[in-house]
Amino acid sequence: MKAVVLVGGQGTRLRPITFDTPKALVPLRNRPFMGYMLDFLRGGGLDGAVLSLGYLPDPIQDYLANWHDLRGFDVDYAVEEHALGTAGGIKNAEEYLDGDPFVVVNGDVLTGMDLAEAIRIHKASDALATITLTSVEDPTAYGLVEVDHDMVVQRFIEKPAADEVTTNLVNAGVYVLEPEVLGMIPAGREVSIEREIFPELQARGRLMAHVSSSYWRDIGTPRSYLAASHDVLSGAVGTDRTNFEYMDVKEDASCGKNVKLLPPLSVAEGCEISDLATIGGRSALGRNCRIGRGAVVEGSILLDGARVDAGAVIRGSIIGRDARVGRGAIVRGLSVLGAGCVVGEGNVLDQGIRVNPGVVLPPRSLRF
Ligand code: GTP
């Protein structure tokens, strides 16, 4: 059985990181997200995937071309010239499917769910499609799915107001579809599976749901991406626990004197950490990051080549590729810096501020 992995979206909610890195390749514990996705599909017993690509397809194909761990797992690519939406992206992959039932996955879902069980449950029913559901604490940012006692889907409620919440079960972005569903998707135009195809299947009574209680999170926003990174660093999901290291510090990373390294932590190749710096728990430093004397990094993601100057503090934030945080600056509260931007000395960034790639903030120009 194959999967169609939807990875063609622009990832607007995760900007500025997704201006230059597709969501499918953002790192978790210094490994591109796509690696976890392929492990999940293989772990579910699938033998291949079609990647449904649109936005920034080349880096995704390059990553997989250099991945030596496919072990007989077939990967095909269906690239859209213009955005076809979540159902259009599946239709565009049709030539690579072999007329059997198939799995569809939103390419930004990190989950430990039992995919093989979802497939078994689908096959035991007469549904044309089975949606997996997961329960979330605050469902207002998601699409709610109401089901009856036989798990037949009754109703969808998109991003409900707090007083419209009737269930906390939301669409987990993992589906099993019969090939007939492909015939319901018009070709060549943008079509949404959630808004157009599922409601039609529901109206015919042929849409089932399966609830998974396993770990689930999408990495679509800075908050959820950072939370997923914390979870992977803590070994909560996505990693083989047999040889799991809470201190994953590459040997050639250099550490000065009196550096505090607090687990869980991942430090990639070529990093240089100066004297008296503290790299706090649940942080991931990409390749060739440089941390200055006495700087503090806690609960954050630093992408490759990021630089934190002496005395600067980074907490619960995401620092883009080759970005630089100047002396004594503070970046906290889910701030996100785009690639190559420079935060001058003494600035304070907070409250989820996002700085676009290449922007230069002069010294002491921002304070929260
Ligand atoms: P936002 O712009 O932040 O909403 O992110 P997104 O573009 O990823 O959209 P969303 O999270 O709604 O999409 C869910 C999944 O479908 C993601 O894995 C997307 O990459 C994928 N997706 C969204 N739109 C398209 C599309 O037009 N074509 C393809 N092939 N995939 C898509």
Domain chopping of the chain, boundaries: 2-233, 245-361
Using 50, 70 and 90 to split pLDDT, how confident is the model at 111? very high
Q: What confidence category does residue 142 fall into, taking pLDDT thresholds of 50, 70 and 90? A: confident
Atom index in ligand 1 nearest the CA of residue 9 equals 7
Bridge partners, residue 355, by sequence: 337
* pLDDT at residue 128 tops 90: yes
As a whole number of angstroms, the distance between CA 300 and CA 284 comes to 7
pLDDT score for 240 = 67
Instruction: Assign 65 a pLDDT band (cuts: 50, 70, 90).
Output: confident
| The pLDDT of residue 50 is above 70 | yes
Q: Determine if ligand 1 sits within 6 Å of the CB of residue 220.
A: yes
Take residue 322 and report the two structure tokens written for it: 């080759």
Is the CB of 12 within 6 Å of ligand 1? yes
pTM for the full model? 0.94
Least confident of 15-19, 68-72, 194-198, 332-336: 68-72
Radius of gyration of the chain from its Cα atoms, rounded to whole angstroms:
22
- For 184, the 3-state DSSP assignment is helix
pLDDT of 163:
85
* Residue from 6, 96, 103 whose mutation best tests the ligand 1 pocket (most atoms within 8 A of CB): 6
User: What residues contact 92, with CB distance under 8 A and at least 6 apart?
Assistant: 52, 78, 80, 84
**Fold exhibited by the domain 2-233:** Spore Coat Polysaccharide Biosynthesis Protein SpsA; Chain A (3.90.550)
Ligand 1 proximity of 32 Cβ (cutoff 6 Å): no
- The pLDDT value recorded for residue 151 is 94
Instruction: Render pLDDT for 115-125 as a digit per residue (tens, 0 to 9).
Output: 999 999 999 99
- Nearest C-alpha to atom 5 of ligand 1 is from which residue? 11
CATH architecture of 245-361: 3 Solenoid (2.160)
Q: pLDDT: is 292 or 137 the higher one? A: 292
Per CATH, 2-233 and 245-361 having the same topology is answered no
CB–CB of 343/325 below 8 Å? Answer: yes
Q: Is 289 exposed, middle or buried (0-12, 13-18, 19+ CB in 10 A)?
A: buried
Q: For residue 236, what is the DSSP state?
A: S
Distance 257 CA to ligand 1 centre (A): 45
pLDDT of residue 352: 96
Q: Do you find a cis peptide bond into 264, omega within 30 degrees of 0? A: yes
What is the predicted pLDDT for the residue at 96? 96
Q: How confident is the model at residue 68 (pLDDT cuts 50, 70, 90)?
A: low
